[in-house]
Amino acid sequence: MIQLIDFYADWCGPCQIMKPAFEELKKEYEGRVEFKTDDVEVAGTEAEKFGVMSIPTFVILKDDQEVDRRIGAMPKDELKRWIDSHLN
């Protein structure tokens, strides 16, 4: 199973724009993708570990190793296609 981490902050406008799409896809991919959110204000060490410099940053892990990342807000369909490209 792959893991998708969303690095965000409550004060970040683009992060808040992505929140509904992230939550909808979390339900859609239940059992196939593990969705995780990390508030960079709270989980700064995790963001530092991944070298997150901008938010939102989305990181895909396979076997606890980073395989891809995207930075910035995107349409839900684009996020879905990106996730799908790592499920095949």
Whole-number pLDDT of residue 14: 97
Domains and CATH numbers, the chain: 2-74 (3.40.30.10)
pLDDT higher than 80, residue 88: no
Known catalytic membership, residue 65? no
Q: Which amino acid would we find at residue 70?
A: R
pLDDT > 70: percent of the chain: 99
- Among 4, 5, 15, 52, which one carries the catalytic annotation? 15
- Among 5, 12, 18, 83, which one carries the catalytic annotation? 12
pLDDT higher than 80, residue 43: no
Whole-number pLDDT of residue 32: 95
Known catalytic membership, residue 15? yes
Query: What is the pTM assigned to this prediction?
Result: 0.93
Could you tell me the pLDDT band of residue 24, with boundaries at 50, 70 and 90? very high
pLDDT higher than 80, residue 81: yes
Whole-number pLDDT of residue 27: 96
